[in-house]
Chains A and B, each alone.
Chain A
Amino acid sequence: MPINVFIIIRKSQGSRVVVSARSFADLTPQASFDIKRCDLHRLDEGPSVQTVLTREDGLRYYRTMQTVRRMELKADQLYKQKIIRGFCHLYDGQEACAVGIEAGINPTDHLITAYRVHGYTYTRGVSVKEILAELTGRKGGIAKGKGGSMHMYAKNFYGGNGIVGAQVPLGAGVALACQYQAKNEVCVTLYGDGAANQGQIFEAFNMAALWKLPCIFICENNKYGMGTSVERASASTDYYKRGDYIPGLRVDGMDVLSVREATRFAADYCRYGKGPILMELQTYRYHGHSMSDPGVSYRTRDEIQEVRGKSDPITMLKDRMISNNMASLEEIKDIDAEIRKEIEEAAQFATSDPEPPLEDLCNHIFFNDTPFEVRGTSPWVKLKSIS
């Protein structure tokens, strides 16, 4: 029986609010969960089919996934209001991938992905405020408003890349640096089902395997490259086998615990010199490819609804925790309310912060260089660039 405790909070202006708080003493601190077995390629053993989730971790994953979800929905809203322009590729539906991966690696590990990047930017440490302000092109954005949706960076996070497939050799290069510097770090290199046919990815596979680079290649298979389904784009849709001589595993990308377990497995494999490994995460995006795509000309609304109803990653985690008495509904509601507030404040900032000043136009061309002149739109316009 839950014990109800009444707490009286005195707010700063002197008014008083009575809040009912439940004691958390009777909630389960951790539980063991069965997760789907992964399909394996060139591996004798895969990740464990059971994993232990602590209450603390569970709440953290929930909070993070929900934050990404709400942030993306807010971006949708701002885009429709024309406050965000250009490209905007939303991640809602795929949250378990970003959150599960981050849970399986260390903050000192490295990560690079393509253009559907807002979720990873958040899990890699950038605030919602700085992400939304970058989307709205303001000076408080993580790239000072100069990059936009696809070009966000942070420590050990290399974007945010607009050219499909280009991030894969880049990620293998970051892995080369990890190996070179001998710090036992790995690089997670993500790409989509659409990018999976790019030649340069196979070039990266070859060099990564040849030189045993500590690179975890991850294909986020959300079933559609823009509007082309996987069956219409790839002669082989077994993306986890496409690394050929590189061992691979196919993972349920809608289950954050499966993703975490698989990532831990992969990171262990890579970290101590066995070479690269490939993971395919089977996932789904609710939005179209980008904000200019309603997302229903190449797939049915029924399909989208079915995934939402049966496999939503956030709902799945919440249900697991509630039904195992690891969290209370009130707690979840409180977290939701906090997140809503955080997103609102971030959106406020993102719509009110000024755009970068014109003086900043030509800056950041070169790093660590003396200031120089940049030609403007006509020979009489001489602009200045500083590092």
Chain B
Amino acid sequence: MAYLRSILRSGKNAVPAVLRREFHRTLPAAVQQVTVRDAIKEALDEELERDERVFLLGEEVALFEGAYKVTRGLWKKYGDKRIIDTPITEIGFTGIAVGAAMAGLRPVVEYMSFNFSMQSVDHIINSAAKTYYMSGGLQPVSIVFRGPNGAAPGVAAQHAQCFAAWYGHVPGLKVVSPWSAEDAKGLLKSAIRDDNPVVFLENEIMYSVPFEMSEESQSKDFLIPIGKAKIERKGNHVTLVSHSHVVSRCMDAAAVLAKDGIECEVINLRTIRPMDMEAIETSVMKTKHLITVEGGWPQFGVGGEILARIMEGPGFSYLNAPAVRVTGVDIPMPYAKHLEENTLPQIKDIVFSVKKTLNV
């Protein structure tokens, strides 16, 4: 019975296993394989159902079902009023969304890519982030800005920038960067329920990646608190801190290093702002070695902020070696595959940096 259930639930993964008569692992009864894309959609669907004031707007979110198919099915279910296709006018529709939030609705704005949000940055920062403060607490702005951020295969310079550091710089914003399906679902639900402006940085590379979702995480009230990191892998020798798709690289690098007896502790930041420094410091006090790993540019980046805070905080005196950053290369993203690969941190770069830090 459990075997039958596992075929039905695991979808295409289970069929080859059956044919090959290999039973890799029968999934526990209620665990499901869910892609990040579907997890995001589930979160949107559940929050649209739960609160009438929530609505989606963005380019191609309705009839086209989402440029990356994230919002597939939602327009058919909720209609024109709640799922709104906008013209290609980012600054205009971002302003409209912020105004709607000021008047009491709870919009979720989709950017086809966060690169397009640069046009809207004035509204995200000056109209949304600063308003509660400037008004002395009179005017809150409950809004979520979401969409794919950072690298995507073959999209080149204007479509591959990581905005984590840009938005992470701004007081009044919360900035979230999920990695797994569970992250995406729990954090997006928290973001939509949060009464403040939240920038939700997804990543195109992760959309199709399936993750196991526990029964708990499938519940309609499953929330992950904004501002708390997660230890994806425990280890004693070095702390790797990362966010978004690069967490996958860290996990792969950790598997490679484990063969050499080096145990990495991989921390998935989950939230860029407010950052969970306590989790990082606790880990550093244990491992005494720190490497931050990100896809964004090095100057004034997420890693730079973590290192500065480690220097200023209790973690510093525990370090046995200088903390370092592994980052994207300080150039616009090139197109050619080989060049593109060498612009982002690869597994070998992480492994190399760990061994240098540990002096092995």
**A248 to B62, alpha carbons, bound, how many Å?**
32
Whether A44 is near chain B, meaning CB under 8 Å from some CB there, is: no
Contact partner of B89 among A143, A146, A203, CB < 8 A? A203
A158 within 8 A of B: yes
Whether the pair A204, B92 counts as a contact (CB closer than 8 A) is: yes
A147-B136, A368-B195, A387-B137 are contacts. A162–B103 as well, Cβ < 8 Å?
no
Most A CB contacts (10 A, CB to CB) among B94, B98, B135, B274 go to: B135
Is A104 interfacial (CB-CB < 8 Å)?
Answer: no
- Interface segment among B9-17, B27-35, B119-127: the answer is B119-127
Contacting residues of chain B (101-135) with chain A, CB-CB under 8 angstroms: 101-105, 122-123, 126-127, 132-135
Q: Which residues 151-210 of A sit at the B interface, judged by CB distance below 8 A?
A: 151-154, 158-159, 161-163, 166, 168-178, 180-181, 187, 199-200, 202-204, 206-207, 210
Complex contact B139–A158 (CB within 8 A):
yes
Tell whether A207 pairs with B87 under 8 Å between CB atoms, given A158-B99, A176-B99.
yes
Size of the B side of the interface (Cβ < 8 Å), in residues, is 44
Q: Are the CB atoms of A203 and B127 closer together than 8 Å? A: no
Q: In the complex, A145 Cα to B134 Cα: how many Å?
A: 9
Q: Knowing A174-B103, A203-B91 touch, does A153 contact B139 (C-beta < 8 A)?
A: yes
**Quick check: A379 and B313 within 8 Å, CB to CB?**
yes
Give the interface residue-count category, chain A: 35 or more
Tell me whether B105 and A169 are in contact (CB under 8 A). no
Asked if A242 is at the interface (CB within 8 A of a chain B CB), the reply is: no
Contact A180 B81 (CB under 8 A): yes
Central interface residue in B87, B98, B138, by most chain A CB within 10 Å: B138
Would you give the shortest CB distance from A201 to chain B, in whole angstroms?
9
Q: What CA separation (Å) do A206 and B89 show in the bound complex?
A: 9
Whether B92 contacts A203 by the Cβ 8 Å rule is: yes
Contact A364 B132 (CB under 8 A): yes
**A366 contacts B by Cβ under 8 Å:** yes
Q: A180-B55, A372-B274 are in contact. Are A207 and B134 (CB under 8 A)?
A: no
Q: Which residues of A contact B (CB under 8 A)?
A: 110, 112, 141-147, 151-154, 158-159, 161-163, 166, 168-178, 180-181, 187, 199-200, 202-204, 206-207, 210-211, 363-369, 372, 374, 379, 387
B: residues with CB less than 8 A from A are 55, 81, 84, 86-87, 89, 91-105, 122-123, 126-127, 132-140, 142, 171-172, 174, 194-196, 274, 312-313
